[in-house]
């Protein structure tokens, strides 16, 4: 089983749609979780951290289920500018080197 | 505020050549790292540093060297370039291991 697995993409949605990204991780000792966004041929940028209680930032909601080792990202009212690849990132409980990136899921929002 | 600056943005090398990818940050971050990104592989950690004078290997360190003589700079050296090192290289920094990373804009390297 891969350490961090994400939905294969791409996701094609119309503007205004709600889209959900799923991510599973294999290391039960993982402690920190993040969602990054990467535009085509650009660097990854931190979108949001994921907290145990779940967290929301505008149209974006992140959830964590430790029992199922599952993370999600929900985007409501999709915009054209949301088109990008979304990376799930997981960190184990100690050590700087243990940050693991998923391969990403591409989102394409169309007019 | 420049953030994380990488140079060069593009580079073509011949097999066997050596070169240094530069990375500098002006945020006084202690943690810096180098990743490579290949199609279908995701980001993989090459080397990292938790402070000046301290470096360690990541997931794919072979063929690369690093040093951290100052807080600001973290260069990545390719000792003898191979076609397998064709990739996009990203440098990243963070103030601590629990914070998100700030990435540089990347270096696209082609080894022929």
CB B100 to CB A102 under 8 A? Answer: no
Which of the four pLDDT bands, split at 50, 70 and 90, describes residue A99?
A: confident
What pLDDT is recorded for position B18?
A: 96
What pLDDT is recorded for position A31?
A: 83
Task: Please state, in angstroms and rounded to a whole number, the distance separating the CA atoms of residues A72 and A70.
Answer: 7
Quickly list DSSP for A67-78: TTTEEEEEE-S-
- pLDDT over 70 (residue B86): yes
The β-bridge partners of A5 are A24
The β-bridge partners of B43 are B37
Task: Please state, in angstroms and rounded to a whole number, the distance separating the CA atoms of residues B45 and B20.
Answer: 17
What pLDDT is recorded for position A27?
A: 86
Residue of A nearest to B101 (CA): A46
Task: Please state, in angstroms and rounded to a whole number, the distance separating the CA atoms of residues B98 and A91.
Answer: 9
Mean pLDDT, all residues of chain A: 91
- pLDDT over 70 (residue A94): no
The answer to whether the beta carbons of residues B35 and B89 sit under 8 Å apart is: yes
The tens digit of pLDDT for each residue in B8-45 reads: 999 999 999 999 999 999 999 999 999 999 988 889 99
Which of helix, strand or coil describes residue A26? coil
Best residue in A33, A37, A89, A97 to probe B by mutation, most B CBs within 10 Å?
A97
Partner B contacted by A20 (CB < 8 A): no
Chain B hits for A87, CB-CB cut-off 8 Å, are: 42-43
């Amino acid at each position: 089983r891969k350490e961090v697995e994400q939905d294969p993409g791409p996701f094609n949605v119309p503007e205004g749609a709600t889209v959900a990204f799923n991510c599973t991780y294999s290391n039960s000792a993982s402690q920190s979780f993040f969602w990054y966004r990467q535009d085509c041929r650009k660097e990854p940028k931190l979108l949001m951290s994921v907290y145990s209680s779940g967290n929301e930032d505008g149209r974006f909601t992140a959830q964590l289920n430790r029992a199922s080792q599952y993370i999600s990202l929900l985007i409501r009212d999709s915009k054209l500018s949301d088109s990008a690849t979304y990376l799930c990132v997981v960190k184990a409980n100690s050590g700087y080197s243990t940050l693991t990136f998923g391969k990403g899921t591409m989102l394409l929002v169309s007019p | 505020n420049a953030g994380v600056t990488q140079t060069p943005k593009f580079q073509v090398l011949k097999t066997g050549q050596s070169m240094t990818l530069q990375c500098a940050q002006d945020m006084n971050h202690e943690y810096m790292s180098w990743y490579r990104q290949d199609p279908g592989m995701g980001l993989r950690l090459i080397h990292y540093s938790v402070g000046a004078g301290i470096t360690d290997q990541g997931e794919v360190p072979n063929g690369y060297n690093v040093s951290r003589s100052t807080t600001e700079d973290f260069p990545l050296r390719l000792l003898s370039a191979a076609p397998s090192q064709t990739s996009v290289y990203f440098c990243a920094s963070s103030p601590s291991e629990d914070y998100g990373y700030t990435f540089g804009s990347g270096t696209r390297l082609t080894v022929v």
